[in-house]
Amino acid sequence: MKKDSKIFVAGHRGLVGSAIVRQLNSLGYCNIVTRGREELDLRNTKEVQEFFHQERPEYVFDSAAKVGGIRANDIYSAEFIYDNLTIQNNMIHSSFLFGVKKFLFLGSVCVYPKYAPFPVRESSLLDGLLEPTNEAYAVAKIAGIKMCQAYSKQYGMKTLTIMPANLYGPNDNFHPENGHVIPAMIEKFIKNPEKVTLWGNGCSMREFMFSDDMADACIFLMNSDLRKGEIVNAGTGDEVSIRELSRLIADAVGFEGTIEWDTSKPNGTPKRPLDFSKIRSMGWEPKNSLADGLAKTVRWYKENEMQINRR
């Protein structure tokens, strides 16, 4: 990408999209296009095609998606599969129709099989059964990955997919029930200073990556030679149990109350560390430790608490 290339960041108000915009701005990219949901409904094919016809973006970062934690995925599974399939179908096809030079699709670690061999390689895709609690979201994302590959194969469209570890950071969904684990915990610990109840037994292991590192990886890959629908993992290589994570977040927010575990609720996938040797061999490394990322996220939360979206 050139500094004046026209770049569309879809989902620019979300966790990843906002981080990509911040990173692009910091690097001197000066022609960034964004649209809020009130301006452009990415589920509306006519609106999306009209937008691409008028704006003609050269590069597209597709970070727009309906996302949530275990509870939200389980309860709203129909919305998760419909909205995500519709958004990505419109984004990919319109990018093809209007000559986008390169399209980057945001995947998810949950698309890999529940019991994939560790660390999980890109080749594990479709090599086993999915985690049931987020199956609808995962199936939609898998369809997006395969659509990118099909458009690259048939039409020569330049696409790639990045598969991140579990993400967190500013502009996340901090809803205590529908958000992902880190933002949901931050909200719970701050709002309930005496006692917090968490799902499962806390033994599941997770790998977390700060959103600014994810943005850095996305821009790095967009500027790489990859273009034929390749899948690339991005992670940190560091795992932590949900129980230990709860202690780290409690310390970060100053929580001194009691943590209880509801073992009648699911734990999710027991363990899913990513093999990110491909992007590491290309020269990319994350910059933020979990402790540093949590501190930055908590600080952002406290500074923006009144404006935070708790969907």
pLDDT per residue as tens digits for the range 84-131: 999 999 999 999 999 999 999 999 988 999 889 999 999 999 999 998
pLDDT at position 148, please? Answer: 98
CATH label of the domain that carries residue 80 = 3.40.50.720
DSSP for the chain reads --TT--EEEETTTSHHHHHHHHHHHHTT---EE---TTT--TT-HHHHHHHHHHH--SEEEE-------HHHHHHTHHHHHHHHHHHHHHHHHHHHHTT-SEEEEE--GGGS-TTPPSSBPGGGTTSSPPPGGGHHHHHHHHHHHHHHHHHHHHH---EEEEEESEEE-TT----TTTS-HHHHHHHHHHH-SSEEEEES-S--EEEEEEHHHHHHHHHHHHTSS--EEEEEEE--S-EEEHHHHHHHHHHHHT--SEEEEETTS----S---B--HHHHHTT------HHHHHHHHHHHHHHHGGG----
Is residue 116 included in any domain, yes or no? yes
- pLDDT, residue 309, reads 64
pLDDT attached to residue 310: 61
Judge whether 100 lies within some domain.
yes
Per-residue confidence (pLDDT) for residue 61, from 0 to 100 = 98
Structural domain includes residue 192:
no
The pTM of this model reads 0.93
pLDDT at 311: 60
If one counts the domains in the chain, the total is 1
The residue annotated as part of the active site, out of 137, 151, 168, 301, is 137
Which residue ranges of the chain lie beneath pLDDT 70? Answer: 309-311
Domain of residue 40: give its range: 7-173+208-236+273-288
Instruction: Specify the pLDDT at position 84.
Output: 97
Asked if the structure places residue 219 within a domain, the reply is yes
Q: Please indicate, yes or no, if residue 227 is contained in any of the structural domains.
A: yes
Residue 281 lies in a domain: yes
Active site residue 137: yes
| 144 in a structural domain | yes
Residue 254 lies inside a defined structural domain of this protein = no
